[in-house]
Every structure is written in C-alpha cells, then in structure tokens.
Structure 1
Amino acid sequence: MSTLFGREREVATLEGLVDGVHERGAALVVRGAAGIGKSALLAAVTERAEAGNLLVSTASGVQSETHLPFAGLHQLLRPMLGAAGQLPARQREALLGAFGMSEAGDPEPFLVALAVLNLLGDTATDRPLLIVVDDVQWLDGPTTEVLGFVARRVRSDPIVLLMALRDGHPTSLDASDLPELRLTGLESAAAEALLDAQAAGLSVGMRWRVLSEAAGNPLALVELPLALGAGAVTAEAAWLPLTARLERAFAVRLAELPPHTRALLLVAAANDGHDVADALAGGGIVAGAVLTAEALAPAVDAGLVELREQALRFRHPLVRSAIYQKAGRTDRLAAHAALALVHERDPDRRAWHRAAAIAQRDESVATELEGVAARARQRGAIPVAVTALRRAAEVSEEPAAGAHRLLTAAELAFELGRGDQAAELLALARPSVLGELPHARGLWLSEMLGEGRNDGPARIHRLVTTAEAAHAAGDRELALGFVRAAAIRCWWSDPGWEQRGSVIALAERLAAGDDDPELLVTLATAGAVERCADVIERLAKIRHTRLDADVTRLLGVAASSVGAFDLVGDFMESSIADLRIQGRLGLLTRALSTQVWRQIFCGDWAGAVLVAEEAERLARETGQPRRQASALGMLALLAGLRGEEERGLALAAEGERVLGTVAISAVAALIEHARGVIALCAGRHDDAFGHLWRLFEPGDAAHHMIWRLWVISELAEAAVGAGRTEPARRAVAELEQVAARTPSPLLHVGLRHARALLAGDAEAEALYQDALGADLSRWPTARARLLLTHGMWLRRRRRIQEARVPLRAARDAFDVLGLLAWGEKARQELRAAGETSDLRVAPAAELLTSQELHIARLAASGLSNREIGQQLYLSHRTVSTHLYRAFPKLGITSRGQLRDALEQAAPGYTSRD
C-alpha cells in the first residue's frame, strides 16, 4: 500500500461509504490520471470491506476487451449468476441473452440493466455488497451503460458501487450527475516520504528531478528512479507527457528479456482476456515453439506481470500499453493472427483479431465483422455493433458494401441517441453510396439528424419527392418514414394547404387502410385542422380495441395532435404499460410526454407531475434532449399552477438550456406557454400576455400554428388583465375561422371561454352561460377556470350574491385538483365579495414526494414491490423503502390501507382566513 502515502482523506471518504452501507447505498466515481493511485485506493477499501464481512464483487476493464459485449458485466456478475433464476422471466432472458447464455431476440438494454439491479439487490439481501470496478474507461460500452443505470438507483439498497477511471478517456458516465472523488498528485511531504521509502539512496540532484517530474504521481515516484538509473528516461524524455515516460520506463525492461518471453508478453498484451493458456498458445505460434509457464518467469522477476492461478495480469495497465506500443507493426499483426487461431471457436474474438491482423482490405473479414454486429444487436449491445460495422466498412473490398455497413452503423448510432457519431458515419458513407434505396436511407438519416432544423416548404417538397422514389424502389417502410417526417415539418411550420395536402395524399396512397396508425398520425400532424374530424371519428371507432404498444402510441399522438386530449388516455395508458414491460425506454419517454398533456388538460394534475418527472428522468438517461426539454417545460407549467413561481421559471430556463441552439418551435411554444401561465398565476398580466403572444406572432421562434389553438383562453385572460384586449380579439377572430373547419375539442373549449372574457357587458352573460352549459365533464380544469372568471365578472359588476356561487365552486374545484395558485385567486375574489374561506389543508397524499406517491398509487392498485420495480425501473428494495417512508405520512400502518388513504385526497378545512 505504498501508494497510499498522503491519502488519508480519500481513504476515510471511501471507508465512510462502506461503513454506512447498512443505512444507505452509494455510488462514487474515482477519477484521476494514470498512476495516480486509484487501484491502490480501491484495493484498500476492498480489504476494509472484506474485513467488515461485506460481500465484494470486482471487475476491471481491459483495453483489448472494449469490443466484447457485456464482457465487463459478465466478469462482475459471474459469482451471482446462479441466482438469476429468481429474476422475472423477461429480465432473466434479457440478462442471460446479453451474456450469450440463452436465446434472446433483440433484448432492450434497459431490461438488462433492470435485471442487473435486481440481481445485485437480491444478492445484498443478507449481506451488504461492495462492487469495485477499476479502469472503467476500458470497459465495453454496454457494461458502462448498465453501471451508470445501477449507480443512479442504489441509494435504498445496501450496495456501494465504486468506479475508477482515468482522465482523458470519455465514457457515458461523464454526463451523469454521479458524485466524484478526484485524485490529484500527492502533497510535497507525502511525495517525499514515498520516494524516500522506495529509493533512499538517490543523490540530491536525482531526488529533486524525480520529485519535479513525478509531480506527486505515486506510480512515477516508484518507477522513475528505476528508469533514471537504467538510463531509460533521458533529458529528451523529460519533455514527454508523464504517461509516455512511464510507458518508456516499463518498456526498457523488455530489452533484458529472452525473445520467447517478449513474444509471449506481446500476445498477452494483444489478447482480450487474462487466460494463461491462451497467451502461451498464441506466444508459441509467434515464437514457433511450444511454450510453458516457465517462459513467463523472467517477466515475473522483472515486475512486469503477475501469475494468479490460471490468470496472467500485468502489474499496471501502462505495462500492457508499453509492451504493445514498443512492438513493431509486423510483430503486432503476427500476434493478432496467432490469437485469431487460438480463438477459432469463438467467432467474435476470432473476427476482431483477424481484423487487427490484416494490413489490407479483406471481404471475408468484413463479413465476419458483420456477424459480430448481428450477434451484438441480438444481445442488446448496440454500441459494439456500431464499432464492428465501422471496422467492417474499413476492410470492405467493395466501396458500395462499405457504404452499406456505414449506413447501418449510422442508423444504429442514431437509435442510441448519439447524433454526432451518426453524422460522422453518414459523412464517411456518402461518397460511396450507390443506388436509389441506399441514397434514400442516407437522406432519411440526414433528415432525422437535422430534426430541429426547419427549412420550410422546400424541405417538405424534397421529403415528399424522396418518399415517392423510395416507394417506387419497393421500400414502403422507408417511404412512410419520409412521409411522417414531412408531416412533422408541417406541424412545426404551416407551408400552406397545397403542400400539406400533397403529404396527406401520399400517406393515403401508402396506407394499409383508413385506420392505419401511420396514416392517422400524418392526417393529424399535416391536417390538424382540415382532417381533424376524420381523425377523431376513426379514433373513436377503435378506442377500445386491443392493439400493440407501437400502434396505440401512434394513435395517442394522433389524438393529442388534434387537441382531442380526452381520447389520448384510451390509447396511451395501454401503450405505456406494454412499453414498460418490454423495457423500451426510448419510446416510453415519448409516450409519457404525450400522456402528460392529457393529464394537464383533463385535470389529473397530481398524475401529471409524476409522469412529467419520470419523462424528464428517462429522457435524460436515454439521450433525448428534445423530450427532456419538453418535460422540463411541462414541469415548469405545473410548478406555476401550484404557485411555485421561482421554481417554474428555473425549470423553463433549464428546458431552454437543454434544448440548446436547436430551433424546434413546438418546444419553444411549450416553454413560452409555461412562462405565460406562471406569470398569469402570479398576477403579472403584462408578462403573461408577452409570453403567450409569441405563439401567435408569425416569424417568432415560438410561433406555432396548432399550439396557439390550445392557449387562447390564457391569452384572453392575460389580455383582460393587461388591458390589451384588441390584439386578443384579433386572435380570437382568426381562430374562429379555424374552429369553423375543425371539431378540435380543446380549441372549442378555449374559444368559448375567450369569447366570454373579451365580450362587452351586453354579450358576456349569454356567452358565459353558453360556455358553462357545454359538456365539460372531461375538462375539469377548464370548467374551474371558467367558473372563476365568471365569478370575477359578476363581482366587478357588483352582483355580489350571484358572484359567490361560481367563486365557491371554482375554489372547491381548484382545491380538489391541487391547483394552489388558482385556488388562492378564488379565495381572494371571495374575500372581495365579502365571504371568508377556510384555508385549504393539504391532503396527506400531498405530503409524499413524487416518487413516493407514484409507488403508493401502484401499490394501492394491487401490484407487488417487484411488479412496481419493473414498471418504474427501480429495485424492489427501493420500492419497499419508499413505501416505508410513505406510510407514516399517510397515517397508515399497512398496505391494505393505501387505497382509502389515497382516495381521501380531497382537502379538509380547519382554520379561518
């Protein structure tokens, strides 16, 4: 433990996590430069954990294993896999399929991650568990993704997850919000003590030089004196980066080793495993002789490698790197060729080593790598598939075949949410793309990558033309993709009916029938006004039909696009349930985002908060910034409605930050809608009008032809308060023309409200009665707001007794809905009308955190902790912890009391104003 000199604080931090694991789980990233002492620190805390009777599981990344899917995860979980049989069937199949231990068709990566989380939680039931992962930067991508997923969810489990990685190597953990412990160089006193303990006989000049060049790096303090003494680090080398100097320090020892030992070490450095037998077999092929473990003895004596049972391990990753880099190119090719023979029975390893052993293009190698990609996709290891296809393209003999492989890799990268990588692969493919369909595939991907751009009618025309070409070439699915993209463009910016009509006409030609979900989505997004009646009629016909998750999600999107939010739930609830079971979190995020608006407009505000928070978290985890920005906008609006103005504005600003410079008018409109409602609830009518008017102003980044239909009542209310009724009347008049062509429910609800608000005294009474007389049973929020404004109108005309009736009804409705800001407005109006109101007492359910309430609702519906965990992608132990905290807040002691406790969410009343 010599490298732990001066690390008392860091050791105490890690030991504190281990000692506290009985009360709370934790995850920590240990980050620092090469040789800074990460491994020694992890070894020290591992020793402490074993002495404290914790279970310990360890894994370490190996640079040559980064292309083997889930290799690191298998290393970590190998001792626990015997318990995998206790996992739910889909999780078990996904996990074993990821390891190639069973057949699994395209398992979802997040289903694998949930299986790992539950397996670790079950393992930690009897004894707390310490998981130590070193050299994370060299783990395969799928393993790193799973570790990030687990790390965000272990707080309620007796699990500590420590992950160490080297600076300068990007990983998926970089963008996470996990806590970090950054290791820097030792302070002067500790560095001197370590150097003197290792090399006491150094001259004053040499000692000063080592301290200066090592800069507190523990490995350098140990190795540089040896290298300087052997002449391996010269004055010229002093200008090299420290890592390079350390590699040179290790490499110099190679020259003193026998040729067979050097060949054996090179093969071991190139190998993607630690097995001694593999290294001996490969080394023997390179050396042309049968080698035994005796050939490793000189390397062991030189302190370069260690033998542990049947495993050969390098003393430090820099040793492996030094050996590989020191070898000539011809020797490296020979080492990989030998390993390809050694791994003849493992097609993935063989293919990677064959690819590393050639200096020219080879179609047979490219074909093998395509097989690697196919198997990686079947196991849910999409990043590995992308890497394999890119390498396959590099060694392809025919440019067109290489372009096809690059296009496939780019499409997979896009599915992962890695737009930059997809764009790079697409750019590499373009010069060699031949044929109409490959060209169309490239255009389709380019369209998806430029989703935030809005180039107007010209772009829509190109999309329609390309869709027609794809259809003529025989690819209906690709053609439908272009039609859908064109329809979305029409949703963002109205190019006029001529172009929107051409999009719809092509969609109808390609549709499988009138009720084809793809067609209904296109009708709703390209013809939200003109074809609204058709969409609603067709949705109403099939609303109770049992369909699969993809179909119902599309139908829910169609309903929301035409403002029929009262129909959205009929489709989205079943879609969300299926997507949860399937582990398709990317699509689940989109479905949740659509569901939120149904809940907001139809009055389930508590549910809306839960779903919006889950959508934001999942969008962040699945790399969907547009969806995350939308979810933040929804949460901003919800915060404003609860009177949390400061929080709402912060959430809106965060939504803009996440969206960045991408111009997506629908998201900009949503965020301005949220800001307008926040200002309206705070009584800042001028600000509210300014934000909401942007949706109506052509040319503004937040202008949206459809979204404006849904905020007309808020605009009218802000306009009355700000004294700016004339522009609001113009907006209403314009939307009256729209309403004459569409039965969009939310538009008509809002227009009836706006007409009454903006009318003169002679017409207002009749308009309010007309608005209140409409069927608002599925629009409770709209009804409550209408009652409030009607009561306010009556009071301002000194019809006090009459005013109290709608104001009381509004107050009670807002209280039930949990809309605190508007509930307070109703109380203020009642006070002005001479009537006091009891203060609203928050129901017990509102004392719960969002996640506690979500879990309590699911538990009340009869789901077990494991079933809830599967739905929310949490461990069952985490679910149990949240319920344990929720029970006393609800004043109950058992699960059987949950339903009644939650049903009593209607407010009680105690004290007077």
Structure 2
Amino acid sequence: MDVLRGRRREREALDRLLAAARAGKSQVLVLRGDPGVGKSALLDYVAGRAPGFRVARTAGVPAETELEFSGLHQLCAPMLDRLECLPDPQRDALCTAFGLQKGEAPSRFLVGLAVLGLVSAVAEEQPLLWVVDDAQWLDKASAQTLTFVARRLGTEPVGLVFASRKHEKDEATGLPELVVTGLAHDDARALLGQVLLGPVDERVVDRIVAETRGNPRALLELREELTPAEMTGGFGLPGRTTVPRQAGESLQRHLESLPGDTRRLLLIAAAEPLGDPVLVWRAAHRHGIGIGAAAPAAGLVEIGAQVRFRNPTMRSTILRAASVEEQRSAHRALAEAIDPEADPHHRAWHRAQAAQGFDESIAADLERSAERAQERGGPSAAAVFLEQAAHLTVDPARRAERVLAAAHAMHEAGSPDAAMELLSTAAAGPLDPLQHARVDQLCAELAFAMNRGSDAAPLLLKAAKQLEPLDLRLARETYLDALAAAMHAGHLACGADVREVAEAARAVPAAPQPPRATDLLLDGLAARFTDGYTVGTPLLRQALSAFLSPTPPDEDGFRWLWHAHRTAGDLGDDAAWDLLATRHVRFARDAGALGRLPTALNERINAHVLMGDLTAAESLLEELRAATAATGEPSWPHSAVMLAAWRGCEDHLVKLIAGSGSEVRRRGEGIGLTIVGWAQAVLYNGLGRYEDALAPATQACDALPQEMSMLARATLTELIEAATHSGETELASTAFERLSLLARANDTDWALGLEARSRAVLSDGQAAEDAYREAIDRLGRTRLRGELARAHLLYGEWLRRERRRLDAREQLRTAHEMFSAMRMEAFSQRAAGELQASGETARRRCTETTKELTAREAQIVRLVREGLTNPEIGVRLFISPRTVEWHLSRLFSKLDITSRNQI
C-alpha cells in the first residue's frame, strides 16, 4: 500500500530540504495538516531519504506537555557526549534542564544556545536531520527551544522537519510551512480501493471520500466501519458529516486480543511520559509482570534504551482504551517505583494522576515540587504543578490560593492567555476579600502586559483601592503599576489619567519603615504628578539611589528596574540612566525573562542612540527582534523609530510609523504617539526641514505632561529649534519657558545643557555666544554625544550668520566629524552643507566598505573589536559559532584582510 500516493508536492519539498542541508545550508519546514492526513508518513519518507545523515526523532504526546524539556531530551540524549564543546554557562543550563545536575532555573536563552551549539558540533561530523511529530503536543520548553534553534541555524548541514496540527497556533508559528491536505479525489478512491475486498458501490466510495476530505487515516479506518451491505447497497453513512470514528479503534481491538500482562505493560509504558525503561520495568514488576509480557507487544512498542511506540497516536490510544481505574493503577505503580529523594517532582506528578478525588497530602507534595519544577523549567513548569495541586485541594480557600499562585507563575512565564484561564477558575471561588482583590489585580496586570493601552490603568486603580485595606504592600505595588499604565496611555487615557492615579496613590498610607526602593519610587511619582516636579524630585532621587545600590535588587526591584531607568532620564542623570539600562538588560538575560527582555532592550537601545553609539543600538535591535520572535509576541518598535530618526532614514521611519502607528493609537498608547512626534521632529530638524518638524513637535509637546521630564525636555528642545527657524518666535519662547522650569528643577548638566542650547537659539549677540559655549561645556560633561554635536552645529551655523567664518568652520568641522563618526547621516550632511557655505569643503569619509557590509556583518565587526570569541558572539547574536565563522570569512574578503586582529 502506497500511503504517499499523490504526494508529489510534499516529496519535492522534502527532497529540496535534504539537498540544501547536504550542501551546508540549513533548512526548516513545518508540515501542517489535520490529524491523519499523512504528516507522519511524510516524516517517515524524509527520514528514509536521508542516507548519510544522523537522524533523530521525537514526538509530542499529551501526557508529556507538563514535563519541561522532555521532548528536547529525546532529541539531544544521543548527543550529550559532546557537552564538553559548549561554554560553561550553556553546558550548566542544559544539564540542569535535563536533570543531570542541580542548579537555579536555567535561562531559556542559555538552553537554546546550548542546543544550537550542540547541533553545530554534531553537524561538523555529518549532516543532521531532526524530525518532530505532533509538535503541538510538545512541552512548551522543548517547543520554544527547538523553534529558537530553527530560527537561528545558518550555514549548518542541518534539516529540521516539524509536523503539527493545521489550525494550531504553536511555537512553530512563523517558520516556513507546507500545508498537507487530504488526497485528491482519484487518489483517495484508489487508496480505498486497495484496502477493500469485494464489490464496492461507487456512490458510497464517493461519499466516503467527500466526507473524509481525502484524509488517509479516516479512509483506512472506514473500511472497517462499514458493513458489506453499506459498501454494496449504497446505504452510506446516514446522518454523518464528519469522520465517523475516532482514530485508533482498530488498535483498541488489537489490544483486547493481547494477554492481560501485555496490556498492563503497554499501559504502564504509555503512562510514563519520559520513556524511562528502567522505571517502566520496575513498575511492571510491582504488578507481577515479567519480561515475557513484552513479546506479544512487538511491533507496538520497543523497550530498549528508551521506551518507543510505533507511532505517536499509539500512546494516547492505549491510555484511552484503559479504564480510569486501570490508568490510576499504572500511575500508582510508577509513583511507587520512583525514589522520592532522587526525583520527588516526577513522583509527585504520577501520584497526582493516580489520585482519586481530593487529597491534601498529594496537593502539598505537588506544591513543594513546584519550586523544583521552576528550577528546571521556569515558572510555567511551576504553574502546572500548582494547578494540579489546586485540583486536588478540598479546602476552597487553599484551592483558590494555589490557583492564584499558578496564574502568577504563568504571568511571569510570559503566558498571559494561560494565566487568564487560571484566573477564570480562581474567580469561580469562593474567595475571601483579599483573594478577590488579588484576582482583579492580576487581571489588570495581564491587561497591561497584553495591551499596554488605555484600558489597563482604570483596572489597576480599582484593584489597588480594593487591596489598600487588605494588603498595603501589594496595594502600593499595584498603584505603581497603575501609574505606569497611565503614563503609557498619556493623553489617550480613558477612565483614569496620570493625575487621578497619582492623587489616589498620594492618599495611600505610608509604607512600613524602612521603605523599599519601590515605595520611594511610588511616593516620588505621586508627588511629582500632584504637587509638581519640584516637590517630587527629592523623593525620586532617593528612590534612584536605592536602585543604584551595588546589591542586586530583589524580585520586586528587578520588576521595576525599567521604571528606575526612566526616572534617571527624567532627573537628567545620564550616568545612572546608562548604568540602569545596562543592568536591566543583564538581569533580564540572566533570568531568562523573555517577557521583560524586550522592554529592557528598548530602553538600552534608546540610551545608545542618545549617546551616539548607533552601531551598538543596531546590534541590540537585532537582539530585540530575536527576543520578540522567541516569545511570538508583537512589539511596538519605539527604539527602532528613534534609531531611524537619528540615523536620518526618512523612508525607513515612514514605513515604521505606517506599519505600527495605527495599532498604537487603537490601543490607546499615548506615549507611543509622543515618541513618534519626537522622532519625526529629530529627523526633519536634522534634514533642515524645520517646517516639517514643527507640527509633530508641537503635537508631541501639547500631549505630554510636564512631569514626564525626559520626553518633555526632548520634545521641547526640538520644538524650539523648529519654531525658531520657521519664524514662530512666540511659540518658541513659550516652549522655552516650560523647558527652563524643568531644567532648573533638575539642575543637571543634561537638562541645563539642553536649556542653554535652546536659550542660545532664541538669543542674539554676546548672550547667544555665551549660551552656546555653556551648552557645549555642560553637554560635554555628559554622555550625550548626539546632543553635544548638535550644540557645535548650531553654534557654527550662528557664527557663520555672524560672518565669523573661521570660528564657524571650527565648530562645523567638529560637528561634521562627530556626526560622521556616529553615522548620523542627516545631521552630517547638514553640517557639510554649512561648512561648504563657510568656504570649506567637508572631507569625505571612506564609506564604501561600510556600505558593503550587511547589518549582521557590522554587528560582528563591532563584537570582534570588543574582543569576543566566535562562541561569545554567537551567544550575543543567537547564532551558532559556525555561522559566525562563515560571516567572518565573508568579512575578510570584503575588507581585504586575513585575520580578525586586523578588524
């Protein structure tokens, strides 16, 4: 029987994948289709067509979805002899994930990079083919890691083929796909004709083909469903519009014909998700089952170095065929066979499956195991154990507490949908007042995490007020959440703006002494938005000092590190702003916090941009895209917009805004629109198109509260420059008054330097010259190289208008050299034009080589200059060392060099 009848398109695609992998170019393909459509047969085909490849296979099954890294372990187990080739952090992360050693919860990034390095090392010896069936049932950690690797393979002789359900949105979403459909009508008829005996009514065949949509498995099962009368007399399938029988019924009948001990052995093997043969036999012996029971199961399961069923559906079919009590008995035997000291959480899981009704002992066991599960698989693993514990808990209050804990763990894991589902269970109650408030609080947090729009602040404010008399610490944290949400909503706030939230927070009782960094932050922000910037600044400086402590922050401190970074910017402390941005990214990477890393990278990129290191910003932008792709969550590219603006790339900026701006407005994220206006003003001021800069700068300033100081300083500075050059002196003067108030409250070189530069733009004669010199002096003491270069440019332009050409050339030459070095093309060209008008031609930079480099090659050049090795570069860029080596070989050719030392 040819189960691949008519699969020409699929075969050709798989053949191309193998050919490309043999040639050293990795290929990935996801086969998507309905159950039984033939995906597994296609996987068999590609595995059979891969002579010379090292082939590894795994399959997801529902029983394993709760055990972290179980699917990945099946693929990697034969390769663990190459662990020594990995860097120590990666090796430790992988060993911890696989339970080979104890340790902190491994970073998903480090596990992914470890697998990437392992694949690269193995593929050096021979081409590698990984085949993954039923990917929709892989445990989440394995699925994320495999797709992480799939997206980052470059010049490796590796092929990855996944098979997944057609309508499932899983971790493989976004990879190259091939939809596998049912057989064409003639092929389906031919397949059915091969397995049917005797005469067949053509009408029945046509109806079968139509109702099964050519699904091969359904066709093969239907041949046993229909009676001879139905097949020959045309009675068909009355009242049926879908596949008339669930898959696996023929296997169930086969199971019934097997000896009792063999059926029990198969059930124990099916119930053990990790496929440990030693454990299976140990549990079987507890049932009095001997080795001879395996013989009749030959062809169904292989119990060798690993327990392996003939196909992915067999395990679930065996479990379905057993009664509930038989399944519990199998899990009970497995639990008893596990050493409680060596593997307590595995034992707890089997005990839970064996439980009948409520059982507080097992629930407590699961709750204790959640901590160990988090060490191995992160918060999502802990959530699974906590959820199971809740199901076994008889006391309603304790059950709600465990469900809430599971929901919080899912939220931390970056799975808001799963967290919301758990919260709906918790909300069914009964709940005490504190638990009810915590449900509302977490619902509001999730709304902010998923949308970051105008709907989150009112929800968070309501939850904070509920919590105030019940849990002051949690209430204060929720007020801080509400303030953040309201600041994000900005002028698009609906139901609770920043001032309303701040007034409510200001009225909350004081924090216990000594206050935490987050308490100081809340008090400072509340004071700033109610009593003014001057009143809030001292408290915010205390909070900033607490966050700047060399002692790593606790969990709460890490959670609010991004807010501390923004506070440093508002206060004009560029050193703290830089330090906290760096620390935030480092902590997010070390913790493997995928949900927090994009925010940290956005802030770090913005810092690099304003500090003039656009190359570093571009490098992190690639990492931001990789982190976003790893989570599968879309993000609004604030940092990409600012990078394009300072780079002077009008076309790119317009595309970014067109692609995401409407979505930001729909969500009600006012701060996003403010950043768009700021970016447009920077771009058009850089291009010397001041009238084009005037409108977006005006809109950004009008929509922004004065208390959001950093953004206010930035947009007001752009507005003053655009308005002055456009002849709108009154508008510029009004904006300067606002800017001056902010600068005097900050009293930092950053704030006062921008204020002096703007004052100079509005002044004449000696006052203007003194202000320009003050701006250059103050900004020269900061890390803001872009703003300093602009001060030189504006001073040079003023000097040229004053007909002081020699003095002008000195300033313009400095500005041009700085802008050129920072690759700020628009400002560089503006400075070059001014130099030419002063009678001097700007020296041309040798940019031909730079223009030839791709963005990835430019990143690698920068990291080589930092002294990083190929494996270290691979870790930073989420690519394999072999791919780094390939890029370097191209770089050597482009740059006409022979070693990395010359870079």
Asked if Structure 1 and Structure 2 have the same fold, meaning a TM-score greater than 0.5 normalized by the shorter chain, the answer is: yes
CA apart distance, 1:96: 1.6
1:436-515 maps to which residues of 2 (within 5 A)? 441-442=438-439, 444-451=441-448, 452=452, 478=474, 481-482=477-478, 484-485=480-481, 488=484, 494-495=498-499, 499=503, 502=506, 506=510, 509-511=513-515
Structure 1 unpaired stretches of 5+: 899-913
Change (3 A) 1:62 1:227: same
Taking a change above 3 Å as real, the CA distance of residues 786 and 348 of structure 1, as seen in their structure-2 partners, is closer
1:616-643: CA deviation from partner (whole Å, max 9, x where unpaired):
4324424665xx42xx222122223333
Corresponding residue for residue 154 of structure 1: 153
Q: Which residue is equivalent to 1:901?
A: none
**1:726 corresponds to 2:727:** no
Q: C-alpha distance in 1, partners of 2:391/2:539? A: 51
Give the C-alpha shift of residue 396 in structure 1: 0.7
Superposed counterparts of 1:268-417, under 5 Å: 269-272=270-273, 297=296, 305-307=300-302, 316-318=311-313, 320-322=315-317, 324-325=319-320, 336-337=331-332, 340-341=335-336, 347-358=344-355, 360-417=357-414
Find the aligned partners of 1:694 and 1:865 in 2 and give their Cα distance. Answer: 47
Per the alignment, residue 602 of structure 1 pairs with 611
CA displacement, residues 130-185 of structure 1 (integer Å, 9 cap, x when unaligned): 111111112111111111111111123222221111224442223xx311122112
Match of 1:180 in 2: 177
Question: CA 1:126–1:264 in 2, change beyond 3 Å: closer, same or farther?
Answer: closer
1:696–1:705 contact (8 Å) kept in structure 2: no
- 1:242 is paired with a residue whose SS is coil
The Cα shift of 1:244 comes to: 4.4
Displacement of 1:799 after TM fit?
Answer: 6.7
Contact 1:110 1:584 in 2 (8 A): no
* Counterpart-to-counterpart distance in 2, 1:504 and 1:747: 32
Q: CA deviation digits over 1:407-431, x for unaligned, max 9?
A: 2111111111222322332343246
Distance 1:506 1:646, change over 3 A: farther
Match of 1:142 in 2: 141
1:911 alignment counterpart: none
Q: Residue 133 of structure 1 aligns to a residue in which SS?
A: strand
Partner residue of 1:224 out of 201, 222, 228:
222
Shift of 1:12: 2.1
Contact 2:31 2:162 in 1 (8 A): yes
State the alpha-carbon separation in 2 of the partners of residues 436 and 615 from structure 1.
40
Q: How does 1:575-590 map to 2 (within 5 A)?
A: 576=585, 580=589, 583=592, 586-590=595-599
Between the aligned partners of 2:215 and 2:456, the Cα distance in structure 1 is: 57
Which residue, out of 772, 794, 817, partners 1:789? Answer: 794
2:893 aligns to what?
A: 888
Q: What residue identity is the alignment partner of 2:755? A: L
State the secondary structure of the residue aligned to 1:20. Answer: helix
Match of 1:118 in 2: 117
Using the alignment, how far apart are the partners of 2:289 and 2:248 within structure 1? 29
**Which among 633, 643, 651 is matched to residue 646 of structure 1?**
651
Q: Which amino acid aligns with 1:876?
A: P
2:243 matched residue in structure 1: 242
Whether 1:593 aligns to 2:607 is no
Deviates more, 1:633-642 or 1:586-595: 586-595
Q: Following the alignment from structure 2 to structure 1, what is the Cα–Cα distance between the partners of residues 417 and 770?
A: 58
Question: Structure 2 counterpart of 1:736, which letter?
Answer: S
Q: CA deviation at 1:711?
A: 2.2
Decide whether aligned partners of structure 1 residues 29 and 540 sit closer, same or farther in structure 2, where only a CA change above 3 A counts: same
**Is the Cα–Cα contact under 8 Å of residues 690 and 725 in structure 2 kept in the other structure?**
yes
Matched pairs, number = 875
**Structure 2 CA distance for partners of 1:845 and 1:9, relative to 1, 3 Å:** same
Report how far residue 817 of structure 1 moved. 1.6
Counterpart of 1:748 (choices 741, 752, 766) is 752
Q: 2:829 aligns with which of 824, 833, 840?
A: 824
Aligned twin of 1:665: 670
In 2, Cα distance between equivalents of 1:542 and 1:453: 27
C-alpha deviation, 1:40, in angstroms: 1.4
1:34 paired with 2:35, answer: yes
Q: Deviations over 1:839-879 (max 9, x none)?
A: 44316445433332333222223222223333444322222
The superposition leaves residues 871-910 of structure 1 with CA deviations (integer Å, 9 ceiling, x where unpaired) of: 4443222222222222223332101112xxxxxxxxxxxx
Distance 1:590 1:284 in 2: 53
**CA distance in structure 1 between the aligned counterparts of 2:188 and 2:461, rounded to whole angstroms:** 68
**How far, CA to CA, are the matches of 2:349 and 2:244 in structure 1?**
27
Tell me the distance in 2 between the aligned counterparts of 1:529 and 1:619. 38
Task: Give the residue type in structure 2 aligned to 1:92.
Answer: R
Q: Distance in 1 between matches of 2:595 and 2:670?
A: 22
Residue of structure 2 equivalent to 1:210? 208
> Residue in 2 aligned with 1:104?
103
CA distance in structure 2 between the partners assigned to 1:178 and 1:458 by the alignment? 38
Offset at residue 820 of structure 1 (A): 0.8
Given that 1:729 and 1:758 are in contact with CA atoms closer than 8 Å, whether structure 2 keeps it comes out as: yes
**Helix, strand or coil at the partner of 1:614:** helix
Q: CA deviation at 1:29?
A: 1.5
CA gap of 1:237–1:112, structure 2 versus 1, over 3 A, is farther
Corresponding residue number in structure 2 for 1:11: 11
Where does residue 423 of structure 1 map in the other structure? 420
What residue is the counterpart of 1:87 in the other structure?
86
Instruction: State the identity as a percent.
Output: 33
Q: Using the TM superposition, give the Cα deviation of residue 79 of structure 1 relative to its aligned residue in structure 2, in angstroms.
A: 0.6
Cα separation, partners in 2 of 1:735 and 1:62, compared to 1, 3 Å: same
Q: Report the Cα offset of residue 122 of structure 1.
A: 1.5
* Partner Cα distance (1:541, 1:143) in 2: 39
Task: Indicate how the Cα distance of structure 1 residues 258 and 58 shifts in structure 2: closer, same or farther if over 3 A, else same.
Answer: closer
Matches of 1:322 and 1:14, distance apart in 2: 29
Give CA deviations for 1:576-619 in whole Å, capped at 9, x if unaligned.
45665665555554443332232222222222222233234324
User: Out of 813, 817, 820, which is 2:818 matched to?
Assistant: 813
Amino acid at match of 2:383: V
Tell me if structure 2 keeps the 8 A contact 1:712–1:750.
no
Q: Which residue of 2 aligns with 1:23?
A: 24
Q: Measure how far apart 1:520 and its partner are.
A: 6.5
Q: 1:378 to 1:278 in 2, by over 3 A?
A: closer
TM-score with structure 2 setting the length: 0.85
Q: Tell me by how many angstroms 1:832 deviates.
A: 5.0
Q: How does 1:477-876 map to 2 (within 5 A)?
A: 478=474, 481-482=477-478, 484-485=480-481, 488=484, 494-495=498-499, 499=503, 502=506, 506=510, 509-511=513-515, 519=520, 523=524, 527=528, 530=535, 532=537, 547-548=551-552, 556-573=565-582, 576=585, 580=589, 583=592, 586-622=595-631, 628-629=635-636, 632-656=637-661, 661-681=666-686, 685-698=690-703, 706-759=710-763, 764=768, 767-772=771-776, 774-778=778-782, 779-793=784-798, 804-832=809-837, 836-842=841-847, 844-845=849-850, 847-876=852-881
Once residues 781 and 503 of structure 2 are traced to their aligned partners in structure 1, the CA distance between those partners, rounded to angstroms, is 37
From the superposition, tell whether residues 506 and 276 of structure 1 become closer, same or farther in structure 2 (CA, over 3 Å). Answer: closer
Q: Which amino acid aligns with 1:211?
A: V
Question: CA-to-partner distance for each residue in 1:265-289, whole Å, 9 max, x for gaps?
Answer: 666555535578977887899xx98
Structure 1's 530 and 128: CA in aligned 2 closer, same or farther, altered over 3 A?
farther
Aligned equivalent of 2:491: none
Sort the Cα spacing of 1:35 and 1:595 in 2 relative to 1 into closer, same or farther, 3 A: same
Give me the whole-angstrom Cα distance separating, in 2, the residues matched to 1:885 and 1:157.
16
Task: Find the residue that maps to 1:741 and give its secondary structure.
Answer: helix
Moved more, 80-89 or 235-244: 235-244
SS of 2:377 mapped into structure 1: coil
Q: CA RMSD in A?
A: 4.2
**C-alpha offsets along residues 317-373 of structure 1, whole Å, 9 cap, x if unaligned?**
455545544666566555555655566866445444443444522212322322342
Classify 1:312/1:72 alpha carbon distance in 2 versus 1 (closer, same or farther; 3 Å).
closer
Inter-CA distance 45–67: structure 2 relative to 1 (3 Å threshold): same
TM-score normalised by length of structure 1: 0.84
Give the counterpart letter for 1:225 in structure 2: R
Instruction: Measure the CA separation in 2 of the matches of 1:585 and 1:341.
Output: 37
**Superposition deviation, residue 397 in structure 1:** 0.7
In the superposition, relative to structure 1, how do residues 445 and 754 fare at CA in structure 2: closer, same or farther (>3 Å)? Answer: same
